[in-house]
Amino acid sequence: MMTSNTTQATKKQYANNKAEHIGSFLRALKLKKARYDFADRVIYEETLRQVENAEIDNLIDIQLDLDCTVMTDGDFRRAWWHLDFLEQFNGIDGHKIRDGLKYKDAISKPYDVRVTGKISFNEDHTCLAHYRYLHEAIDGFATAKYCLPSPNMMLYPHLRNNRTYTEKLDEYAQDLAFSFKQAIMALYIEGCRYIQINDQFLAYLCDENYRAKEIDQGVNPEDLAKLCVEVLNKTLQNKPEDLFVALHIDRGNFSSSWLYSGGYEFLADHVFEKLTNIDRYLLEFDTERSGNFEPLEKLKNSQADVFLGLISSKKEMLETSDEIIERINTAINFLPLERLGLCLQSGFASMEEGNKISYDTQWKKIKLMNRVAQEIWG
């Protein structure tokens, strides 16, 4: 049985919350310009922070107006959902690369991280100051959720095969888990009681084409899945009992395009049955690329709830209440309704460029999500 050390009192705080966004929102032109101006040394960092703070304050007000009970800063201080966070660890550096990452219909900016030394948490990591501002700005009106990339994001072949940890994969995994555990504890000390771990590498393993590439290199994808579970379990081992943890598995989200395709069947026996201390899964189910609901049966004996990502953050077209409810009625064949909730498929702007949807549609989708959740769960 997949267990969690989260107290019942803590879980009860979130039990009635049946709708949740994934964290990132479209950046206003003013914010984008400020970030570009800072990069070009046109404005000082203090000026950029003032613009970011004002935009985050405005976003909090909008989330309050839309009845969001769990709120984020929209990733407004980040260019990437993951690299900004990862490159601040000791032993991990950001750097420009020749070509950007190729999505289905888009190419990202040519930037990545690399391992340059033994990995450890940097006590000056900006995530602490960023969370502190969010926590104080929300001021108890809602739950402040902090989103961070999974340590598994460092398990891609070009990252795990590095010179520092040559033939030391176990040590590499151990250092990743310990460093992320320290990051989470540092956020906890700042007052954070809800973290969302975003994991794209697990979606990579869902894709049979990428599993085949690993096999071609002599690597068993089953072993990688086991390693992912081991890293996350060690990261969350003995976590504070009043810390609520969500896991979002993302198939790539840039400029309304995607990276990976494949259902959750491959992960079910590993992640769904053996991962511990996960209180909530936020899972993509907006297109056929995500497969069907059947793998959710593997979570029947777990203590986690599952939020279905049935509303796309990629498409301008607004879903209908009827089609969302119809799919939820299908999902209850595999998990009871009280274990389910509703979420967006992903963020609206996992990278600062954002998806190809309008601001108006962004808010309409949040309203739709909350309205349908209220209709179904009350």
Phi, psi (degrees; rounded to nearest 5) at 53: -60, -45
What is the pLDDT, as a whole number, of residue 215? 98
What is the pLDDT, as a whole number, of residue 2? 66
Q: Mean pLDDT throughout 5-17?
A: 92
Q: What percent of the chain has pLDDT over 90?
A: 89
Identify residue 310 by its one-letter amino acid code. L
Task: For the chain, give the number of residues.
Answer: 378
For the chain, how far is it from start to end, CA to CA, in angstroms?
Answer: 29
Q: pLDDT tens digit string along 174-192?
A: 999 999 999 999 999 999 9
The contacts of residue 214 (CB under 8 Å, 6+ apart) are 157, 220, 221, 224
CA distance 36 to 343: 31
Q: Give the 3-state secondary structure of residue 92.
A: strand
Instruction: Give 309's strand partners.
Output: 284, 343
Q: pLDDT tens digit string along 258-295?
A: 789 999 999 999 999 999 999 999 999 988 888 999 99
What is the pLDDT, as a whole number, of residue 1? 54
> Mean pLDDT score of the chain, rounded to an integer?
95
Identify residue 186 by its one-letter amino acid code. A
The contacts of residue 200 (CB under 8 Å, 6+ apart) are 82, 149, 150, 153, 249, 250, 251, 252, 259, 260
H runs (alpha helix) in 75-207: 83-86, 127-138, 157-160, 169-189, 201-206
Q: pLDDT tens digit string along 93-151?
A: 999 998 878 788 878 888 999 999 999 999 999 999 999 999 999 988 999 999 999 99
What is the pLDDT, as a whole number, of residue 3? 86
Q: On the CB side of 207, how many CA atoms lie within 13 Å of its CA?
A: 18
Instruction: Give 111's strand partners.
Output: 96
Instruction: Label residue 40 exposed, middle or buried (CB < 10 Å: 0-12, 13-18, 19+).
Output: exposed
Torsion of CA 282, 283, 286, 288, to 10 degrees: 180
CA distance 151 to 180: 7
- Report how far Cα 169 is from the mean position of its chain's Cα atoms: 24
The contacts of residue 33 (CB under 8 Å, 6+ apart) are none
Q: Mean pLDDT throughout 201-206?
A: 97
Q: Say what the pTM is.
A: 0.96
Q: pLDDT tens digit string along 220-244?
A: 999 999 999 999 999 999 999 999 9
The contacts of residue 147 (CB under 8 Å, 6+ apart) are 22, 23, 24, 72, 75, 81, 195, 196, 198, 248
The contacts of residue 19 (CB under 8 Å, 6+ apart) are 341, 342, 343, 369, 370, 372, 373, 374
The contacts of residue 158 (CB under 8 Å, 6+ apart) are none
What is the pLDDT, as a whole number, of residue 40? 92
Is 87:115 a contact under the CB 8 Å cutoff? no
Q: Which CATH class is domain 8-377?
A: alpha beta
Q: pLDDT tens digit string along 27-45?
A: 999 999 999 999 999 999 9
Identify residue 109 by its one-letter amino acid code. K
